[in-house]
Amino acid sequence: MPPRPLLPLLVALAAALPVARAAEPPMADLIRDNFTYAGAQYSTMLTRLQGDPLLPRTAAAGKTVTVEPEDWTSGFFPGALWLIHEYTGEAKWKTAAEDYTGRLERIRHYTGNHDIGFMLGCSYGQGLRLTGRADYRAVLLDGAQALATRYRPEVGLIRSWDFGPWQYPVIIDNMMNLELLTWAAREGGDARLRAIAISHADQTLANHFRPDASCGHLVDYDPATGAVLKKQTWQGIADDSAWARGQAWAIYGYTVMYRETRQPDYLAHAQRIARFILDHPRLPADKIPYWDFDARDIPAAPRDTSAAALICSALIELSSFVEPAPAREYLAVAETQLRSLSSPAYRAPVGENGGFLLLHAVGQYPQGKEIDAPLAYGDYYFLEALQRYRAKLAAAK
């Protein structure tokens, strides 16, 4: 056999290696740069918001769109301000975080949807963690009781929405609200709240997922018997598709439920979801997913940086609970995601993007809303992922 030419062999070998990281900044520098950037960009956001009592959700045509405290996204901006305060230690971010957190006080008894866990957890929850304020703790305990009113023992799940054609709709996003209940059970001594969270996670595990560990968006239940009536999507491309943010809520939610309960089936499930995402043939090399893994027009389909930020944050936490080999893999993917999100391809120039950090997210594609737009929750989970990665670096020292 004639010898193979050396150059093509070397080229093939180079292509098989992970992206060379030697030329890239160390992660500690990348994290510092991102918080410096976030401070600059959110300073412009605070200027934009002057005189507006509401909370930023997205931007359209460069203009910031703000929402009432009852909107499911209301807690993310206050939460992001707390995370910037935590990193920088600067008092001005604490002042801003307290201001925007306090705007949500009126929803402490809100029972209009299942999202109170997001809304209060990211705002008051982060504030409590960083300040220990007793009044914040009281708001969170009230919020947990409000959330629990949406639970029916006959179904064993918390009802997500009150609108729409469904009888008892439960969406995968609802996994994100359970942490408020497990926390409140510990803090307030009401064991019923923990039982509700576990029942919800168990029923969701039983009914939302497919054999490949991907999940649909919505399951409708019979409110009298708990029987499954229908499985469909609301924000994905199809009932049987893998809507990217849905997969992100799922991996994040089961990782949290494992942290909160140490039940091995939650950990195993989070790892199965991780495999679905990380092995997916349509997950791009930069690890920023298309808005739906089954979007029709891949590779032209929009990406979703909010799903990427969520998956990234979840993978970093999940890496703490698994064997060294998967932990290394999860952290390597999270690093790629953080580097991608920090690049000009996904991070907005200061002063643009309605004051938000990340470009290119998708809110509700089928409804034609927030397509290729910034989203407050994308920013929040990006900052959370950076903080979590920073904690990993500190622990490794």
Residues of this chain that bind ligand GLY (CB under 6 A): 72, 173, 235, 245, 363
Amino acid identity, residue 211? P
Q: Using alpha carbons, select from 42, 109, 111, 114 the residue that is nearest to residue 79.
A: 42
Let me know how long the chain is.
397
- In whole angstroms, the minimum distance from the beta carbon of 324 to ligand GLY comes to 32
Residue 115 annotated in active site: yes
Name the DSSP class of 343. Answer: S
- In whole angstroms, the minimum distance from the beta carbon of 363 to ligand GLY comes to 6
- Structure tokens that stand for 127 in this block: 């504030």
Cα dihedral sign, 43-361-179-181:
positive
- Output 218 or 283, the one with its CB closest to ligand GLY: 218
- Output 245 or 390, the one with its CB closest to ligand GLY: 245
- Output 208 or 245, the one with its CB closest to ligand GLY: 245
Q: Closest CB to ligand GLY belongs to which residue? A: 173
Using the structure block, give the residue that is written with the tokens 């609970």: 321
DSSP result, 241-285: S-BHHHHHHHHHHHHHHHHHH--HHHHHHHHHHHHHHHT-TTS-T
- Structure tokens that stand for 258 in this block: 């494992």
- In whole angstroms, the minimum distance from the beta carbon of 267 to ligand GLY comes to 24
- In whole angstroms, the minimum distance from the beta carbon of 47 to ligand GLY comes to 27
- In whole angstroms, the minimum distance from the beta carbon of 301 to ligand GLY comes to 17
Q: Using alpha carbons, select from 313, 315, 372 the residue that is nearest to residue 348.
A: 372
- Output 143 or 194, the one with its CB closest to ligand GLY: 143
Beta strand 369-373 with 361-364 is antiparallel
Q: Using alpha carbons, select from 231, 223, 81, 74 the residue that is nearest to residue 154.
A: 223
Q: What are phi and psi of 364, to 5 degrees?
A: -135, 85
Cβ atoms within 10 Å, residue 156: 18
- In whole angstroms, the minimum distance from the beta carbon of 127 to ligand GLY comes to 22
Of 99, 162, 173, 279, catalytic = 173
Residue 33 annotated in active site: no
- Output 324 or 368, the one with its CB closest to ligand GLY: 368
How far is Cα 335 from Cα 319, in angstroms, rounded to an integer?
Answer: 12
Of 29, 52, 115, 142, catalytic = 115
Query: What helix, strand, coil percent values describe the chain, rounded to 5?
Result: 55, 10, 35
- In whole angstroms, the minimum distance from the beta carbon of 10 to ligand GLY comes to 45
Q: In terms of C-beta distances under 8 Å and separation of at least 24 residues, what long-range contacts does 206-215 make, across chains too? A: 207/231, 208/170, 208/172, 208/250, 209/250, 209/269, 210/240, 212/276, 213/269, 213/272, 213/273, 213/275, 213/276, 214/242, 214/247, 214/273, 214/276, 214/293, 215/172, 215/242, 215/246, 215/247, 215/250, 215/273
How far is Cα 282 from Cα 99, in angstroms, rounded to an integer?
Answer: 42
- Output 93 or 276, the one with its CB closest to ligand GLY: 276
How far is Cα 158 from Cα 147, in angstroms, rounded to an integer?
Answer: 8
- Output 38 or 310, the one with its CB closest to ligand GLY: 310
- Output 245 or 347, the one with its CB closest to ligand GLY: 245
Residues marked active site are found at: 115, 173
